[in-house]
Amino acid sequence: MLTGISLTCFAATYGITFLLELARVFLHVAVRLSIVVGIALAGIVAHTIYLTIRLMDGIQDGAPLASWYEWCLLAAWIVVVAYVVLAIRRPRNSIGLFILPIVLGLVALAYTFRNTQPFTHDQATQYWGMLHGILLLLGTVAVLLGFMSGILYLAQSYRLKRRLPPSREVRLPSLEWLQQANSRALLTSSLLLVGGVIAGIGLNLVRRNGAAVVIPWGDPIIWSSVVMAGWLTIVTLLNALYKPVQKGRKIACLTVANFAFLLFALAATLGRHASNDPPESNMQRSSSKRCVLHDDAGSLNVNHASLLEKPPIA
């Protein structure tokens, strides 16, 4: 039953969602936002099932999600999920009029790539590796910026509660500005780092089907990244759906907690590399030792033979 889901299913659902958004704004049709979001969620479910089937087929063939067709559909899935989150957070804004055309455009672009050849193994490894590195780099920068804005918010809040006079040398931004900066840094860092972790998993799947060295799934790098991605997903959902978290000290504490989780993941990664030497270097050292012992034994044999052949002293 699930294998009957095609690109047309979720593309038509996104088209209906866009038409409802148009009707709400220009025709002033009384359509509840919950209905629009519900239809979009139905499309996301069908879209997710379709990508999952493609992923499973790609794992069997040795190239999971390794074509421009699948990458366009994956980008469309990310954008439509962002639309649903923003529509729930900003129900009075007409966000769908600007985001849904991008989704439909990505689906149409994927349709044009439907008959193209998938990436080769080297190309898939290169593309997934570049995506993994870029997302993690940008996500780390966003976490650091959020951490600094969270610390500034807590410092400014402490000063105002204690009614301390402002410093003439150091002037801090207002709490309203810092709250917006915390919220944006939290959402941006979470999306980037979760995307980086997913890209890393895709990279490991591609490497597993080739000759490249893979990281075991039980490695500290893998499970620490998965734990961090799970935490960031929970934080993003809380920030989007639970209004008390969106204000005040709570969101500042969440940005500081994100920084702590990032340090935890980095510590697990560095600890793994520090405790385990590369197997190639061990093999090289052992082989070099065997060569030295062999040469020493050979030199001893030669010296012993030369003593035996030396004529006796008269």
What are the contacts of 217-224 at 24+ separation with CB within 8 A?
Answer: 219/272, 220/268, 220/269, 220/271, 220/272, 221/268, 221/269, 221/272, 223/268, 224/264, 224/265, 224/268, 224/269
Question: Based on the domain organization, do 201 and 227 belong to the same domain?
Answer: yes
The predicted structure's pLDDT at residue 104: 95
Q: Are residues 129 and 173 in the same domain?
A: yes
For residue 49, being part of any structural domain is answered with yes
Q: Is the residue at 97 inside a domain?
A: yes
Q: Are residues 53 and 156 in the same domain?
A: no
Query: According to the model, what pLDDT value does residue 91 have?
Result: 82
Tell me if 284 is assigned to some domain: no
Average pLDDT along the chain, 314 residues, taken 10 residues at a time: 74 94 82 89 94 84 80 92 86 87 94 86 84 88 89 86 75 82 85 86 76 67 81 79 71 83 77 52 43 47 48 49
pLDDT at 280: 44
pLDDT of residue 236: 77
Domain coverage including residue 105: 8-117
Based on the fold, state whether residues 123 and 268 are members of the same structural domain: yes
148-198 per-position pLDDT tens digit? 988 888 888 888 888 877 766 677 788 888 888 888 888 888 888 888 888
pLDDT on residue 109: 94
pTM: 0.66
Q: Is residue 307 part of a domain?
A: no
Tell me which of 117, 134, 150 is where a domain ends: 117
At which of 117, 139, 156 does a domain end?
117
Residues 71 and 130 in one domain: no
